[in-house]
Structure 1
């Protein structure tokens, strides 16, 4: 089946030409301007010799040019590769070589790294700089637009053509590029639209909504929430993700009267701290998508912001909230549901839990979480073995996570399968221990890993405390008690290790447990 590439962006501009589409710093940009600039960029790349299927990598903090590049590539059949700003230099080089990038669009904040990168790439690679002080060897973004046309290209693509590549987060190793086809991308947008339109006691998204992106736009916040708001004529507010500051985020929520946003749990907690430091904070939030939350964090969110959240679960390869828990799901007769990540976020999304042979397990049995929908269509670019291993028969996608479903279909997340700790007969899910520690008001973040020392394995919880909290014996004992409560009936204990920082990715959203483990072992 054929499909007009970039149809949704064209229709949004057609429907809401003079409404404000983007707000960034002190600038407002209309839907007409966003669409025209995206067209200029895509056609400008075509004038530079790039064609359908060529890979265009993007390394940037949040800024309007990322949106223009995103939409411009989509409209012209170019395959955007969203790069993670947290990845080390060598990973960038390896990725760009691996996908055969024809162009690299980069924020000039990364110009020193890109200067090194360019020596490792073919001479034909096109470099386009975003921002001030563009180096002489790159084309300034504004200049790349000059030869382009503002007219819509209306290019037909096959629904199975690659639309873009999304990188895995890299918490367990080098990020792998997952290819999204136009068909699977439309399924993602549809899933997210249904999800965001069906929050508790809230109307569907409309042109009066305001969506804030303070987390990397090329990761989950953009993947999950950009299009559902954009195609309804809502305003998108971009905040640079170069440095996370909870007070700046809160100021933006208030100033722009934001009604929707995405927040990883580790970043939501300091935003709630900022709210508590102020008096009479009156937010306009109607829909807050939260990942990696604890029951205590959700309860606190309800108290300080309202019952406007959805606690979601998903994966890079899905691109949407696979399951979500709403406040109304937690009833007096089922309080345990607050520990879950809910049920499928739309009617046509399937979730199951299977054993090591791929057979579906009955309720309340722990196994691997698998999912099935059109969103799962895709493959790892250049990694056929990894792609084959990612699917079971009958198109079930293996998330790599473990958990269980209850009799009502609510999913309880255990952890990443590769992070599961086995010591003797004991099985420990780090996520469960971390959640117990994060319930303490003094804990900012933590990571739980298996550490080998002298031929003996132990479980270590590396804990970051909030500013101003002393690491005395009382808090250590309290945290040890909390961690023990997460491991009922097990013989293994948890060592509490206070640290100043944790190795994280995606602006602090995820702890790199493999790096944490190596760091602790190297220091012993």
Structure 2
């Protein structure tokens, strides 16, 4: 199929005047985007960026971010996109794990953060910052398609930052070949063509948006990138940009369905197909969306490490409405016990996946990578599920203690590490609390020090200064003790039961 950049430049040659990408009211044709990509590539090479170097980009969704993805692909460099709202130490730790050598960011980032470990280029995209090149350096670079003869596709291209149970970063390494295989699979699975307008409405520091932005640019379709998600903004964009395809997280779709019930909701019946991901979509929401949009409606299951592993079209599989579908052609799925042994159909266990779309490993962490697989090569997802006799997978919850709020992963340990340092807190535990809008949100159980006068308000104010927006606790409960087993280990799944009993 060729490299990512080669496929993009092929489309540039064939349709230079077609709109390639739209974001926040700004759009570029394939020719205009190519010019920006070429200038970025020339600038990066002139500043000493080499194949397999990692560039950190703590940036929000923008055309510049998409152009950087293509430019890095063209010269064989890698990108480590990361949420710019994370605390400074979290970003530093992630960049250290990803061996980031160069950093490209906006002025707001450079005003707040300093990195002594970065030895390469520093670029400020929207003004001047101490020790940084300005965007003029990019604009003055050569507008010529770079030579890509030495690019094999096996170079590290994207590091998606996630964390383990200890909060230690686990950079998910994806090569261009990894991404291309995933793009090919989704084109076949959802019949995506050059006539589609594909919407990405999740952050570009997550693998879903990366895929949705790049896919259309490799086949001559149109990439629609939402700068940030609100249900109103999503609906407005989908209507005005005449979006035909998207993969959305279920929490987003729940909010969208609510607004669609209004007689003043915009017309978004141009959709050909919608895919729900990240968490199970409530059946009544799915029914409402299918009724109103009259398009193919899919649900998929997968992980950042495996990509999509199952898919179901609910308009075609009426008897399997509670499942997340059958394995796609590239994947094989089984349900295993703790010893890695396969379980019979209908028995719940850990979902394990063997797929041609598998990631390249946790960057620089070979032992962690090896431990993520069974002896026969299946990736352990940490999720629970069951398979029926027809091979349909039913998702049954998470084995890990991950909290997914609005499609973004929150690790309890990260929240606890911050809150445990607050004055008056004896111990604390973060846990998932159901939420109609976001699917689930972060809640805190806190045991006070004796005579402490801390309150829910003081805890939330403390967290506001030390945690990212998506990590903020929506609820704070004060308990006399945290539930523990006889070995003294925290029984996290008992906390919700305890606080609900307290609320009653």
TM-score (norm 1): 0.75
The equivalent residue for 2:401 is: 419
| Residue 374 in structure 1 maps to residue 371 in structure 2 | no
| 1:360-399 pair list within 5 angstroms | 360-399=342-381
2:114 to 117, 124, 135: 117
The equivalent residue for 2:240 is: 255
Distance 1:519 1:52, change over 3 A: farther
Distance 1:311 1:355, change over 3 A: same
| 1:261-276 pair list within 5 angstroms | 261-276=246-261
| Residue 298 in structure 1 maps to residue 286 in structure 2 | yes
Unaligned runs of 5+ in 2: 413-427, 439-455, 482-504
Q: Separation in 2 of the partners of 1:171 and 1:275? A: 38
Q: Separation in 2 of the partners of 1:523 and 1:153? A: 65
Q: Separation in 2 of the partners of 1:309 and 1:11? A: 31
Distance 1:74 1:310, change over 3 A: same
Cα distance, 1:171 vs. partner? 8.5
> Quick check: 2:56–2:103 contact (8 Å CA) kept in 1?
yes
Distance 1:183 1:238, change over 3 A: closer
| 1:75-474 pair list within 5 angstroms | 75-113=74-112, 116-118=113-115, 120-122=116-118, 124-131=119-126, 133-168=127-162, 173-197=167-191, 205-241=192-228, 244-279=229-264, 281-283=266-268, 284-291=270-277, 292=279, 293-318=281-306, 320-331=307-318, 334=319, 337-344=320-327, 346-419=328-401, 462-464=433-435
SS of the counterpart of 1:100?
A: coil
Cα distance, 1:226 vs. partner? 2.5
> Quick check: 1:39–1:153 contact (8 Å CA) kept in 2?
no
The equivalent residue for 1:65 is: 64
Cα distance, 1:172 vs. partner? 7.2
Range with bigger deviation, 54-63 or 350-359 = 350-359
User: How many pairs does the alignment contain?
Assistant: 447
SS of the counterpart of 1:279?
A: coil
Deviations 1:290-325 (A, max 9, x none): 11222222122212323432111111112x322112
> Quick check: 1:57–1:96 contact (8 Å CA) kept in 2?
yes
Unaligned runs of 5+ in 1: 198-204, 421-429, 439-444, 450-456, 468-496
Distance 1:308 1:209, change over 3 A: same
The equivalent residue for 1:482 is: none
Distance 1:301 1:458, change over 3 A: same
SS of the counterpart of 1:104?
A: strand
Deviations 1:30-83 (A, max 9, x none): 112222321221221110111111111111111110011000001101011121
> Quick check: 1:16–1:233 contact (8 Å CA) kept in 2?
yes
Distance 1:464 1:280, change over 3 A: closer
Q: CA RMSD in A?
A: 4.0
Distance 1:215 1:35, change over 3 A: same
Q: Which runs of 4+ in 1 moved over 4 A?
A: 2-5, 169-172, 457-461, 463-467, 499-503, 505-508, 515-524
Cα distance, 1:521 vs. partner? 6.0
Deviations 1:157-186 (A, max 9, x none): 334332221222778734411111233222
Q: Separation in 2 of the partners of 1:519 and 1:316? A: 31
Deviations 1:371-419 (A, max 9, x none): 1122214111122221111111232111121111111111111222123
TM-score (norm 2): 0.78
Distance 1:507 1:33, change over 3 A: farther
